[in-house]
């Protein structure tokens, strides 16, 4: 990865499980060449990591604030992390 890569960890609270949130993140990440993963948490949230160019990562974070049509996002927590050089995007 180049110095232009960033990494963000995102935790999305609300009605975000069972509404194709993770798959929507995967499709968005793949179309923007962003690496990372998304998973459902036991507390009902969706957690995701995005690594890529700053503009592309920020677009995915913005999408996370609304999610797919069936989602009802209550809050989004975003944290900076050092990039790890991930490749691809996984649903965990």
The answer to whether 13 and 73 are in contact (CB under 8 A) is yes
Catalytic one among 7, 22, 26, 59?
22
Catalytic one among 9, 32, 40, 53?
40
Distances (CA, A) of 47 to 1, 2, 4, 66: 23, 25, 23, 14
What's the rounded Cα separation, in Å, for the pair 75 and 77? 7
9 is a catalytic site residue: no
22 is a catalytic site residue: yes
- Tokens 């957690």 found at: 47
Catalytic residues: 22, 40
């Amino acid at each position: 990865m180049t110095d232009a890569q960033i990494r963000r960890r995102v935790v999305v609270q609300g009605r975000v499980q069972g509404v194709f949130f993770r798959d929507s993140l995967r499709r968005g990440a793949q179309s923007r060449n962003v690496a990372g993963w998304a998973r459902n948490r036991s507390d009902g949230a969706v957690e995701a990591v995005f690594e890529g160019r700053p503009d592309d990562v920020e677009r995915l974070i913005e999408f996370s604030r609304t999610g797919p049509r069936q989602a009802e996002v209550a809050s989004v927590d975003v944290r900076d992390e050092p990039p790890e050089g991930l490749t691809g995007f996984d649903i965990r």
